[in-house]
Structure formats: C-alpha cells, structure tokens
Structure 1
Amino acid sequence: MLTDTAIKKLKPVGKDYQKADGEGLVLVVRAAGEKSWRYEFRLNGKKQKYTYGNYPEFSLDDARSINRVARKLVEQGRHPSTMLDDPVTKKQIIDGASFKELEASLAERQQQAALASIPTFGQLAELYWQEVERTWKNPEKQFSLARRHLLPKLGHIRINEIDVAMVRELIYDIRERIGTPTAHVARDWANRIFDYGVEHNLCASNPASLVRAKRVGDKVKRKRWLKSSEIRRYLTDAYRLNSYRGHKLGLHLLMITGVRIGELVGAKWNEIDLEQAEWLIRSDRMKAENDHYVPLPAQAVSMFQELKQLSADDEFVFPSDRTSTGHIQKETLRYFHQQVCASANIADYLPHDHRHTISTHLRERGFNPEIVETTLAHKLPGVAGVYSHAQYREQRRAMLQDWADYLDSLVTEQVVVQANFRQAV
C-alpha cells in the first residue's frame, strides 16, 4: 500500500508507470510528471479502467474513499462513471457521506437537471419561430399574435407542466376578451408550436390539439355592424367616458377612415400630410402588403392636429407611455372600446367590426362597391381584382367626407363640417 511519503518521492522516468495501492486503486506517474488516480476493475467480464483525478488535488485518503464507492458500484454491476463523473458526489464522498446519501443526492440533482433541460413554452415557441416561421414572408407580423396572447401567460411555464385545461382556459379567455376569430388563431399557434415540440422529442404530447376548434366557437366570418342609433350611442359615450383624450380620437378615427386597428396605432407622423389631407400607409404595415392611400376628411384632419399636440415631438401618432420609443398596443384601444360598448349597451361588437359598419352604410348611401372595397384596402373579387389598379382617389375623398359628415350628424342631429360636439363633450 502507498503512503504520502512514498508518493512524494515518485519521480518521472521518461515514460508512464504505475504504483498499486490495493483493491484496484493505482497511482499513474506520467512521463511529464503528472500523477493521477486510476481504478482498474472487471465489469461484465471485461477489464476496464476509470480515472478519478490527479494527485495532490485528491489525496491518498480521498482516493481510497472514492475507490470504496467505485468498488461498491461495480459490485452492483454499475460503471463508476454513473456516480463519480459528478464532481459534487466526489466532494460528498470526501466529506464522509454514506452510499445511500450519495445515491439520493445524485438522483435529486439529476432530476433537477432533467427538468432544467425541458424548455419553457416561450423557448419552444422561439425554436419554432427561428426554424419555421423565419421562412415566411413578413414573419414578424404573422407571429405577433402568438407573442401578444400566448407568451404572456404560457411563456415562462415549462412545457411538461402545461396541460389541456391550462390551454383551454387561455383560449376561452381570449375568446371572451377579444373574440372568437382571435381565439381560433391563438389556438392554431399553440397547436403548431406544441406539434413542433412533439416532432423534435421536446415534449411528449400536444395539449392544444385536445382543445377542439368547434368548442372554441364558429369560425364563420363576423357580420356584426352598427345601426345608426348604435353609432350615435357609441360615439357619444366614447367622448363622455373618463379616459385619455387620444384614445377617444383613436376610436373615432377608426370609425371614419376604416383602417385596421394595427394600422392606426402604428401610424407615424411622416406618413401623414395634414396640408394635403392624406395619409399613406406603407406596404410593410398593410395586410395586403401594398401601399394604402387614405384621404382624410376635415374631421380627421382636425383630430390628427389635436393628436399632434398630444404626442409632442414623438414619431408615432399614438406614442406609448411605457417606453421612450414605440407606440401603444392594439389592446389599449380594444380595452377602451370594450368600455365604450359596455357604456353604450352595444353587445358583441369588436373594433374590427367598424369596417363592417362602414362598408354597410356606404353601400346603403349609394356609393360604388368597388370604391368602398378600395377604401377598406380589400382585394377586389373576380376579374376586377386581377386587372383593375384604379385608386379612385377623388371619389374616395368625397365618399369619406360624406361619411364623416354623416357621423357628425348622427351625434349633433344636424349636418356639420367640423365635429364641434367633440370639443363640447
């Protein structure tokens, strides 16, 4: 058996050699002078070797203690590496932990490591996004709904902890707050992300797949629009509610211009020419990915002038009060819209339904359907959609001015050009 004195006297001789301590433990002296502890044993009938570490990092007593645990593992038919590759276990052996304590501690750490290796829903979504969605045209715009509605609730949760009930509750909550179409899109995103996880062996199952689409609600297109009496209540209550002035003007602009809510909240002042009374929304912000020209009625110009004062020197028409750069989120206007609808006793009406309202009333007022569809940035159906590139700029300007005047008349009960009721309320 070795002693500390004998080990210190061992010198390199130009080639590797070893000195045995007994019970399979040997000290290997390398040609370069390094000394390392090694265990030589037989497992399943085969001669094998396992290195514990170097001397003097591990003393003779340390090596013998580790070797006793290694021999016990081999007696059980287990390779020493199954426990001794873990540096924490080696330290616990040196500190005098029992074999049972070593096994329990290692099992707990392995379990924690396994859990830590399981991605969160947010991490899984990012993996899916990087590999799949980046290949799509305008991917950020398409993935934005998942970021807004799924990640805030599920992003921090590990995927093995997310069950069907959790996903179903979130989807139903989205349906109640925002509407059935958005809930369906959110469900589809969750389904795709979990499918990706199953495909790549990152999760065992897809809980979103068990949230049946038919339970979420009917996917038919919405047909909700406001009658004249409802428009009167909507606009009147919008200006009566105790809320930020810019939000009131925002909802009114949605009603006048027919733009989508995302196009409005993301508007920048360099898109808007108040002298020419026009707004040009660039293609990268449009659903159809074409530039969209919006003629501004006198009422809209007046609103934008007021918003200009409210936004100070910010580049956005609706700057966010949470960050120094950026605009308000769509949810901000949606929330105020819900308050207005509740106050005005208007049920099942979303901000996007303003476009249905505009389309319906403009047709009833005798305007050309093609001009109406162009105003709403819709692709024309049939042959006209293929060959017609007409913008109808002057016709659209006259039509939207007529529409803005009509909205004013509903509230003031007289035809006016300037929306004086907005200042009085």
Structure 2
Amino acid sequence: MVQINSARQAVGKLTFRLRRLLLVLASPLLLLCILYMSCTARVLPSEYGVMQRRLGTNSGIVDQAYGPGLYFVGPGTTLYTFPRTLHILEASNDRQEAEHKAPNPAVVRKVDAYFDDRMRLLGLDTHRTIDALSVQTSDGYAVIAEVVLLYTVKDPVKVAKEFGFGTAYVDRFVINTFRNGVVSTLGAMNAEAFFHEALRVQAVKAAEDTLRERFAARGFEVEKLLVSGYSYAPNYEKSLHDKKVAVQLTEKNRKQSLVNEERAKLQQFESQGNANIIIAESEVAAQISTLTSEAELYASQTRAAADRDYGLAQAEAKRLKADALNIAGGRYVVALEIARMFDAVDRGVMTPEQYISFIRQSWSLIGLSPGGPAPSGSQAGVLP
C-alpha cells in the first residue's frame, strides 16, 4: 500500500512538472499569437487599406491609402478595407417580373432562391440591386428605365472621411445620386425620344457625364452608365402604337404615290421609246427600199450596157470574120476546112445530115447559095 501511494505521488509530481513546462513554453507562443492578432492587419490584392488612429495627438483617419500587404498597427489603431474592384448598381425589375410570371408559389420560392444566390455570389459589398427608375418625361408620361451603373472607389481616404467605413456610402450617397442624376437627365426627353437611338444615347451620355462629375467630387469614379431596357405605361403604349400606325400609313401612302408617279413616267418613257423605234424602223425601211431600187437600177443599167457592148462585139466579130473570109487567105482556110470535112466523111466521122448542113454553112461563108451562080474570080479569090 505504501509503494502504491509513493508511485501515485511520483506520477502526480511528474504531471505537474510537465504542465508547468508546457505552460512556460506555450506562453510566448500565445503571447505572439495575441500580438499578431491585435497588432497586424492584412490588405488583400482586391482591397484598399485605410488606417484610423484613436489614441495620441494624430488621432483620426490617416491621409494615406494602403495597398495589398501585411501591416503592423499599434494599440488604438485599426486598418479598415475598401473593395477596389468594380462596383455594380443595378436598377431593374427582373426579380419582380420573374415572380409575377411564376405559375405557383413553389416556383416563386425557386425564383427568390435564385436571386438570393445570385446576390451572394456577386457580393453584397460591390453589387447592389434596386427597383427600376421611373422617369417622368417632359411631355408628362412615365417611362420605366432599367439602368446599370459601373463605378469604383478611387480615393478610399476621402470616402472614409465622407461616409465612414463599410458600405454605408452605397446607401448614403451612391443610390440617391445615381437615381437623381439619371431621372433628371433622361426626364428632359419626351417619351417618344426613347425610340430614337441617337437621342437616347446622347441623353445617357449626358447622364453619365453628370454622374462622373458628382462621383469624382466624393472620391469615386464612374466607369460606365448603361440603359438595359425601358417600358411605357399601358395608356401611352396604346396612344404611341396608334400614332406610329398613322405615321406609317401616311408614309406608305406617300411612297405609294411616288411609286405611281415613277411608274407613269416609266410608261411614258416606254411609249415614247416605242414610237421612236417605229419611226426609226420606218426610216431604215425607206432607206433600204431606196438603196434596193438604186441597186436594181444600177444593175439594169449595167446589164443593158453589157448587152449592148456584147452585141456590138459580136457584130464586130462577124464583120471582122466576114472581112477575113473575103480575102484570099480566108477562102484558103475555108478550102482547108472542106478538105478536112471530106477526110472526116471518109473516116465515117460525120453523118450525111451533118455533112449536108456543113456544106450549106460552107457555101454561106464563101458567098454561095444552093442553085445560085458561082462567084466571080474577084469575089471568090484564087486558091493557091
């Protein structure tokens, strides 16, 4: 029993010593952790850092923006952060319209869950959604405009001094300035001007310039102002539809009258062209007839002259031939031809009828006629 008690006492002493050793070793680590947690602050790459001192003569917000990194802060000093990423302010009725179109409460709950998840993913600090803006136009109609503003924190020190820390600047400045600037600028247009792209873009540009100036004075920078959609009140929709139909009908009638005028001009041109074609064809036909008549007359005259010259040539040939036969040499040629004829008769080349015909022709050539007197020596000549 004495040994057991001694062993227990020894174990107890050893345990006490170990605890004291662990406490001695852990105390510096715990002190370092407390010092690290209380005297350091981290600024992420997507953030600005603004330091505020609560103790000392230089208390207040430090006029310096701190970039990403780990910083030592003394007692009574706090390092606050502002997001340097793009901020989105969306004026839209998408959630209300989706809930209105939901067929049953179960779908409505799903729609709400979707938009809640969407806001959580986009970030409540940098993305805020408000109702669409109701713009009262210069002609008294209401236009529901869905507008998106993209902006960033340019001077976090000025923002902290103006609106404090956190996202209070969104509710205290950004939303009100955005709504007033857009409504006042777009409200200068009439309702119909929203249909004209050039006028709408010009008005949005003017609203963007106004917001850029107001935001810059408070430490922000406007990146872009976008109009994602717009709609009219039902009564204006109907009046505008009737007006557009009337304007389009008037324009259609005007263009139809222009078409009719052009068609009449075309028909007039076609008629005039057809008449010119007929006149030209008549003139060409008359010219062709004239040329044909002249060609036929020329051909007749040429043929008559040729026939006359041919007849004169034949007569001259007969005369020359007769003169040639009347000389002694000519009669000699005739005698030679008669001798060849007799040779042909002997060879049976000529028939008796051909022979008689040839004799008669020969007699006519030498001036003889059947049954007539023989020619005298002076007429017939002397054969050699």
What TM-score, normalized to structure 2? 0.22
Give 1 or 2: higher strand fraction.
Answer: 2
Give 1 or 2: higher helix fraction.
Answer: 2
What TM-score, normalized to structure 1? 0.20
